[in-house]
Every structure is written in C-alpha cells, then in structure tokens.
Structure 1
Amino acid sequence: MSEVKIGNPAVVGLGGFGMTTLILQFHNLGWCGIGPVLWLGFIFGGTAQLIAGMLEFRTGNNFGFCAFSGYGAFWISLCFYVVFGTNADLTSQYGVLKLTGHDLGFFLVVWTIFTAILFIAAMKHHGVLAWIFLTLLLGFLGLDVKELAGSKAIGTLAAWDLIVCALLAWYLMAHVIFAEAGINLPVGKPWIK
C-alpha cells in the first residue's frame, strides 16, 4: 500500500502571514483603512494560518506548528483587540475593553520575545527563513518603540521593514509551490550550522 501524498501546509501559512502583514503595513503607512486588515487578519492571517499550523503538527514539523499556530493566534487576537478595544490610533465602536497604546506596546513586546525565539531556530534552517524572522523581529522591535515611546518615525521604518518581511514570506511560499513544478528558487544556506 503506497502512502498518499499530502500538501504542504506551509504554503497557506506563508500566504496568510505575508498577505496580512503586507495589508497591515499599507494601513500603518496610511494607504488603506482598517477594514481590509481586520477581514484578512480574522480569516487568512488568523484562521487559515492557525489551521496550517495544526496541519504542520501532523507532519511532525514543530517549527511550522509553533510559528503558524502562534502567528495565526496573533492575528486573531490583534483583530479582536482592534474591534473590542480602544486606543489613540484605533477607535472601536464597541469599546468593551479600554486599551491604550501603552497596552498595545506590551502586547507587541511579548510577541517580540516569541519571535526572537523562533528567529534563533530559523537561522538553522535556511537563509530565506532567517531573513523572514530577522525582518519580523526588527519590525516588532520598531512597533514596540512606536507604541511605548510614541515614535512615529520608527513606526514608519518598521512598516517598510515588515513589507520586506511579507514579500520574503511570499517568496518562500512561491519556493514551495514552484518546487512541485520543477522550478527551484534558491533559499540560501543556514546562517548557523
């Protein structure tokens, strides 16, 4: 009896991560409203990425399981934060939870620490994954400074950095999809042997 080939859940996880990260930065740069961020955050970046993480569990990939499940939960929690909380930048019509930019800063700090842990592991995989997590870590650090110190200039730099991060995630998604068609996009060597 031959084994049934299963799809690689990373393509959905990377797709959702890249798209929601990209649209949030478009919002952060003032190019679009919050609506597209919430819809994509709840559905593709949140739910679909969370499902991709659960499927990574079935493949035995602890890194993918942790990253996709974790960032799927990040997007869902961030969207709920925006919908039900309020702060200076994001005003909610519901206002169930009174949250400040300072609270958002600490929300982001814990995700920065989470990302730092994954960045260390990413350096053992390959160059593109390491670049994704380096730009994500730098982006989170920038957002931490923006929210906790009120630096809009650092927030703008973080947005541009996170656009690079999102495009790198899509590049890695394309690498996985194209490989099946015999097109090999380079991913580079691990940064740590």
Structure 2
Amino acid sequence: MSNEKRANPAPLGLSGFALTTLVLSTFNAGILSSQGAGVVLGLAAFYGGLAQLLAGVLEWRAGNTFGYTAFFTYGAFWEWYFLTALGIFGGVTAQGVGLVLIAFGIFTFVMWIGTFKANMGLFVTFLLLWITFFLLGAGAILNSVALTHAGGYVGILTAIAAWYTGLATVVAESLGKNPPLGKAPLS
C-alpha cells in the first residue's frame, strides 16, 4: 500500500445522508405536500444509498470501523427505503415500518455513544438522528401525524448537522485548516 494521500470519504457519506434526509424530512414535517414525496426515491437509491455504501467501503478500506459501520448501515437503510416505497416487498404496514424505524433508532443510539469522544459535529448529528428515528417510528406505529411532523422537523436539524460536519471538513481541507467541529463531551 502506498503512502499517497487519499480522499476522506466521510464528507461524501455525510452529504449523501444529509441531502436525502433533508428532502424526506420536509415531507415528514408537513412542510411540503406528501404528494410530491416520490422525489426522494432517486435520492434514496443513489445519493443516500449508493454514495453512502461507497463511503462505507472506503472507510472500511481506511480501517475506520465506526465510519464503515455507520455509512454502510445508513446506505442500506436508504436502499431499503427505496425498495419498500416502490412496493418491492409487498404489503408493508405502517406498524412494520415503525418497528424498522425504532430498530434503526436503537442502532443509532448505540452509535451515538461511539461519538462521545469524536467531535461535536458527529455527536450532535447522531443525537438528533436517534431522536428522529424514535419520533418517526412512534408516529408510524401510533398513526400520529404530530409525532411524524416532529420527527420531520428533528430530521431537518439532523440533516443540517450532518451537512455542516461533512462540508466543514471539505472547506477546511481546501483551506489547509482543521475543520471547526468542536470537541465532543468526553474529548
């Protein structure tokens, strides 16, 4: 293996996650009519899904277990969302979707613990994300528009935090500086 500089895959994974999450969250929050929600499908398949899967593989290659696990899992989530929304898996109930969202919330909560010594950008992103998953999951299971809207608004904040974390790295690297991401609580 050579010592040549390689690109950091995290900004790609975070940006794919952020943009796709932002678009879907505007529908979940009720800001845009759900009639246009199909626009997120292409993003889910390619930018939220495929780009994050690629970022995960590149993180694996770099030896970053956290990045690999996070990006590959959320990339797979977006691929699941894409295929489920297309009806590939047949009759999926709201309660079934809610259970999947709660399960991703549990996964994300555990991953959030892994950010306690990372940086404040990742800490906030994962904190907001597990809250988003739990709100959306509960909203689906309880058929609660209020919980779904709350999950959408927290999802928008999650997307902003993820985008900041990823793009601060890109801009800082291009300027030859350290990214302004702050210290996580246990740093």
TM-score range, shorter chain: over 0.9
Task: Give the letter aligned to residue 11 of structure 2.
Answer: V
Task: Give the letter aligned to residue 70 of structure 1.
Answer: T
- Write the distance in 1 (CA, Å) between the matches of 2:139 and 2:50: 27
Following superposition, which runs of at least 4 residues in structure 1 exceed 3 angstroms of deviation? none
Task: Give the letter aligned to residue 177 of structure 1.
Answer: V
Task: For structure 2, list consecutive stretches of 5 or more residues without a partner in the other structure.
Answer: none
Contact 1:41/1:76 (CA < 8 Å) preserved in 2?
A: yes
Q: Give the alignment's TM-score, normalised by structure 2.
A: 0.92
Match in the other structure for 2:54: 51
Contact 2:26/2:153 (CA < 8 Å) preserved in 1?
A: no
Contact 1:178/1:184 (CA < 8 Å) preserved in 2?
A: no
2:138 aligned with 1:137, yes or no?
Answer: no
2:62 aligned with 1:69, yes or no?
Answer: no
- Write the distance in 2 (CA, Å) between the matches of 1:49 and 1:2: 25
- Write the distance in 2 (CA, Å) between the matches of 1:176 and 1:115: 22
Match in the other structure for 2:181: 187
- For residue 184 of structure 1, report the CA deviation from its aligned partner: 4.4
- Write the distance in 1 (CA, Å) between the matches of 2:86 and 2:31: 19
Task: Give the letter aligned to residue 57 of structure 2.
Answer: M
Match in the other structure for 1:31: 32
Contact 1:46/1:72 (CA < 8 Å) preserved in 2?
A: yes
Distance change (3 Å), C-alpha of 1:97 and 1:2: closer
* 125-134 vs 23-32, greater mean Cα deviation: 23-32
- For residue 155 of structure 1, report the CA deviation from its aligned partner: 1.1
Task: For structure 1, list consecutive stretches of 5 or more residues without a partner in the other structure.
Answer: 86-95
2:83 aligned with 1:80, yes or no?
Answer: yes
The alignment partner of 1:63 has SS state of helix
Report sequence identity in percent.
Answer: 38
Q: Give the alignment's TM-score, normalised by structure 1.
A: 0.89
* 34-43 vs 175-184, greater mean Cα deviation: 175-184
- For residue 145 of structure 1, report the CA deviation from its aligned partner: 1.2
